[in-house]
Structure 1
Amino acid sequence: MSFGGPQWPQQGPGQQPYGPGQGQGQQGYGQGQQPPQQHPWQQPPPHQQHQQHQQPGGFPGAPGAQPDGTPDWGALADASATRDRRKRRLMIGGGAVAALAVGAVVATTIVVTNKSNDEAKNGGTAPTGSAAPSDTATPSPTFSSVAPLPPPNPRDYISDAKKDTAPLSAEGLFPGTKLTMSGRPYRKGATASTTNCAAVTVGGLGSALADNGCTRVLRATYVKDGVAVTVGVAVFPTEKQATQAKKQATGGIATLPGAGVGDFCHATVCLRRTNAIGRYVYLTQAGFQNGRKVTTGDQSVFQASDDLGTFAFNQIYARGKAQASAAADAPAQ
């Protein structure tokens, strides 16, 4: 086989026109076709000579063939290049049309999608048969111009009997069997509560409490390392009355023995202190359990007085804080 394709074999005496290996009745090049019956010495008419060699791909008489029957490779290459350029132009043109079509589809999708999003933000499309709202803009958030109320002040609740309504008792104010202040443990002794405020005082404290409307005195005693302290809390209707009683106070709170604690601070020198917060006056009386006089160098007595006074203050303030927190959490009326 040459580059130009299959060619008819040359025929000689005694040969079949189909070439070796093909007998009578076999079909060679076309279904039901027989090649022309010619004698080897008979040449075909001139008008048929070119038909014997017409095969695609460069046979005599075909485009790109030279006079001697060999292919003209340059002409074939030019024809191939021309076909390739034509195909590229068709592909580029088709690609541009396809790109424009895709761009149109994308643009349409974006428009439709944006419309759908706008409808979703504005509550969706209107029901069938209802009129669409004239203003479809997304509503802006609104804020109240009224500032929120500040949280309640705990001191407000421990300064006025009308607000300070939580239960009050000696065991509630002085809970447990001991307390620890900054790592210093104190054991609790007896506790007591009375509405006769003057009866549990010494010196001029009784009249100061009574004159300013004292309604109750709550007491508890604590001991540590031979030092005993009685802490008392006097209750008044208002902060003003408590402050006035503190200014007028002389003497001190009477000690409270019991529950394993003996009598102390009788016929001797003890440390007395008075202070106030809100409608409460808190007082301490501290001394040695063995009756020894207290001097300015007895730091253990001063420390015990400070610790119990701080504890009383903390308990009163915690009472106000708990009530203020409850009021803040309560639903608005």
Structure 2
Amino acid sequence: MSFGQGEPSWGPGGTQTPDWAALADESAARKRRKRWLLLGGGVLATAAIGAIVATVVISANKNDSPTGSGKNASELPAPSDLPSETAEPEPSFSSVAPPPPPNPKDYISDAKKDRAPITVDAFFPGKKLTMGDRVYAKGATQQTKNCAATTKGALGSVLVNNGCGQVIRATYSRDGVAVTVGLAVFPTEAQAKKAARQASGSVATLSGSGVPAFCPAGSVCRRTANSYGRYAYFAISGFTNGKSVTTADKNVYTTGNDLTNFTFRQIHRRGELQASVAATAPAA
């Protein structure tokens, strides 16, 4: 009796005991065939998908080509027909340059522009002056149109001959040293410069308000003369005990320099304030 394909194979001797070894070999062979079939099908599927993707990419590249949808390059719109990249208006600039800002010195160099009030407090405000770590007490002040009366020696005639309109004096003191500053006002910068250059003699000291008389006749005191704009300013510095000043007395030099530097700054600030008002004023 023969056995059909797929039927169990029996061992020798015609017994009914299955040949387990043969059955195991046959089962393993079937599993191997099935696995190879699955692997083969996967490879074919992958290849098919790759071909589809490649076809899509090629088609997309064709549609993105310069001729687009089968058109020739000559059928494309001219560059002038294309829309611009932006619809925003281009910025425009005025061809007229803005005027330069006012120069502060212009406003303290000529009486026609220097119209702010001239007062003691405008130049020497408050009751004390602080310069760095040095504090000076403010003493007596004076404002007069009699320019010659505020001077000693030849300075009076120098001021008058150059057109001095008025003089403001202020005295400050610290640690036994005092200084009087005399601020002379002229119509123009040229007149103030000339008065400072011709200066001889000195401004007279101004005592009072806590400051005793200083720089008596016969003593040596430090004298300076400067100008800025239409203002000339003169200073005399010395000891309140009447002692003469020498070049070794640095505190006297420091006191005089502090007060003349402060006076210069006050004149410049006056110009800045007037220039600022002119810059913000509406056009006529």
1:312 aligns with 2:257: no
State how far apart, in whole Å, the 1-side matches of 2:201 and 2:128 are: 27
User: Which aligned pairs between 1:16-31 and structure 2 lie closer than 5 A?
Assistant: none
State how far apart, in whole Å, the 1-side matches of 2:91 and 2:125 are: 51
1:241 aligns with 2:191: yes
How much does 1:307 deviate?
A: 0.8
State how far apart, in whole Å, the 1-side matches of 2:91 and 2:128 are: 56
Aligned to 2:103: 153
State how far apart, in whole Å, the 1-side matches of 2:262 and 2:225 are: 14
1:121 aligns with 2:87: yes
State how far apart, in whole Å, the 2-side matches of 1:286 and 1:201 are: 14
Aligned to 1:169: 119
State how far apart, in whole Å, the 2-side matches of 1:172 and 1:148 are: 32
1:209 aligns with 2:209: no
State how far apart, in whole Å, the 2-side matches of 1:247 and 1:170 are: 25
User: Which aligned pairs between 1:265-276 and structure 2 lie closer than 5 A?
Assistant: 265-267=215-217, 268-276=219-227
* Deviation per residue, 1:140-166 (Å, 9 max, x gap): 433222222221111111101111111
State how far apart, in whole Å, the 2-side matches of 1:161 and 1:217 are: 15
1:291 aligns with 2:239: no
Percent identical residues: 57
Counterpart selection for 2:144 from 183, 194, 197: 194
Listed as ranges, the gaps of 5+ residues in structure 2 are 1-44, 69-80
User: Which aligned pairs between 1:1-333 and structure 2 lie closer than 5 A?
Assistant: 121=87, 140-267=90-217, 268-333=219-284
State how far apart, in whole Å, the 2-side matches of 1:146 and 1:202 are: 55
* Deviation per residue, 1:54-112 (Å, 9 max, x gap): xxxxxxxxxxxxxxxxxxxxxxxxxxxxxx9xxx9xx99xx99xx9xxx9xxx9xxxxx
* Deviation per residue, 1:308-330 (Å, 9 max, x gap): 11110111011111111221222
Does the residue aligned with 2:182 lie in a helix, a strand or coil?
strand
Listed as ranges, the gaps of 5+ residues in structure 1 are 1-83, 108-114, 123-138
Aligned to 1:39: none
State how far apart, in whole Å, the 1-side matches of 2:249 and 2:87 are: 77
Aligned to 1:66: none
State how far apart, in whole Å, the 1-side matches of 2:128 and 2:226 are: 23
* Deviation per residue, 1:281-333 (Å, 9 max, x gap): 01101111011111121111111111111110111011111111221222222
Does the residue aligned with 1:312 lie in a helix, a strand or coil?
helix
How much does 1:259 deviate?
A: 0.8
Name the structure where helix makes up a greater proportion of residues.
2
Does the residue aligned with 2:263 lie in a helix, a strand or coil?
helix
State how far apart, in whole Å, the 1-side matches of 2:244 and 2:93 are: 68
- Amino acid aligned to 2:224: R
State how far apart, in whole Å, the 1-side matches of 2:190 and 2:238 are: 31
* Deviation per residue, 1:123-179 (Å, 9 max, x gap): xxxxxxxxxxxxxxxx54332222222211111111011111111211221011111
8 A contact 1:226–1:288 mirrored in 2: yes
State how far apart, in whole Å, the 2-side matches of 1:140 and 1:171 are: 54
Does the residue aligned with 1:207 lie in a helix, a strand or coil?
helix
Q: Say how many residue pairs are matched.
A: 232
Larger radius of gyration: 1
* Deviation per residue, 1:190-241 (Å, 9 max, x gap): 1111111111100000001011111110111100100010011000000011
State how far apart, in whole Å, the 1-side matches of 2:90 and 2:197 are: 60
- Amino acid aligned to 1:148: P
